[in-house]
Structure 1
Amino acid sequence: MKPPCRASIRQDGLAAIELALIMLFFMALLPVVLLFGRAFFAYTALQKGAHDAARYLATLPLPQMANGDAIVQHSAFARQLVLDAMAETAPQLQALSVSLDCIYADDFYNCGNYPTAPLQVRIKVSVDMPVDILPQLTRAWLPQMAPIPLRANATLRYVN
């Protein structure tokens, strides 16, 4: 029987050192990947909420869309659809603005201002996602981490 070669023992030790160095890099990269994964997840939910609210307003009958009192209630419900979608996904997010507009042939206005049917309905949502997933030690090294701005738009053709 042949004794084990010394070169293979040295190679095993070298592989362990390489693994340790590579693992340090990937462990430092993991919080960044988790942060942006969370941002994409929140953006997807925000976009879906904006699309659902635009679809709701785009399917309102014209008498309700042209009535100023009725459109206030429907607009509040559409805003609540967006806020509920945000609350389910990321409860720490606070909506900066939720804009509901009706697009006519010449320009866009608040819904309910004109008795004619709009061409399109548009929802714009603005949210700033705070960067709080990183550990406290990392935040001490990177104090300039600003919130991540998330903006969602949904424009649908008015069908009624």
Structure 2
Amino acid sequence: MSMSKNPLNRNERGSAAVECALVLPIMVALIAFTLLFGRLFWHYTVALKAAHDAATFLAMSRLAEVSIDKTDLGEIEIAKIAKSIAVTEVAELNPGSGATPVVDVSCDRHPCIGTQVPGEVAVMVQMKMFDIFLSGVTSDIAGSEGILLSAEVRVPYVGN
């Protein structure tokens, strides 16, 4: 019995390696960008909640705490407490590269110095986030200076 060579039974040992070489970079890029955007949205959500909590605290503070007349025109104590609330809430984040979040508190778009009762208070949390896991893959999109996240919450002052 003679075995005829069928073109369909050719040797396919190297085809799996070629398929893996073609698909693996695409899969690594998909995983890298999924991790990057997941961390990005997580950091932004935490920053937004911190800004919301601090702004709500400041907006509901008593009138006597907000309208204090300071002689040095420095930030009023209740604004410092609101800032520390936001800083504490974002302290658990690890944006990478030693970056620290910046928290800014304002009353009627000016620093809260207590000279008058504000109509609106705002808290802004800003930070730069770096890809700490797959920076070699995502550096073209994220950049070496990081992605700037800015969460700002403005609420009317309702204190009594």
Describe the shift of the 1:142–1:63 C-alpha distance in structure 2 as closer, same or farther (beyond 3 A). Answer: closer
| Contact 1:121–1:158 (8 Å) recurs in 2 | yes
Counting aligned pairs with the same residue, the percent is 29
Where do 1:52-91 residues align within 5 Å?
52-68=53-69, 72-90=76-94
Describe the shift of the 1:8–1:119 C-alpha distance in structure 2 as closer, same or farther (beyond 3 A). Answer: farther
Normalised TM-score (structure 2):
0.72
Describe the shift of the 1:68–1:9 C-alpha distance in structure 2 as closer, same or farther (beyond 3 A). Answer: farther
**Displacement, 1:154?**
0.4
2:104: which partner in 1?
99
2:3: which partner in 1?
none
Please give the secondary structure, in 2, of the residue aligned with 1:88: coil
| Contact 2:32–2:137 (8 Å) recurs in 1 | no
Amino acid at match of 1:65: V
1:41: which partner in 2?
42
Describe the shift of the 1:102–1:141 C-alpha distance in structure 2 as closer, same or farther (beyond 3 A). Answer: closer
| Contact 1:95–1:125 (8 Å) recurs in 2 | no
Amino acid at match of 2:144: M
Please give the secondary structure, in 1, of the residue aligned with 2:76: helix
**Displacement, 1:53?**
0.3
1:150: which partner in 2?
149
Which has the larger helix fraction? 1
- CA root-mean-square deviation: 3.5
**Unaligned segments of structure 1, at least 5 residues:** 1-5
Aligned length: 148
Normalised TM-score (structure 1):
0.72
**Unaligned segments of structure 2, at least 5 residues:** 1-6
- 1:133 and 2:133 aligned: yes
Describe the shift of the 1:8–1:18 C-alpha distance in structure 2 as closer, same or farther (beyond 3 A). Answer: farther
2:122: which partner in 1?
122
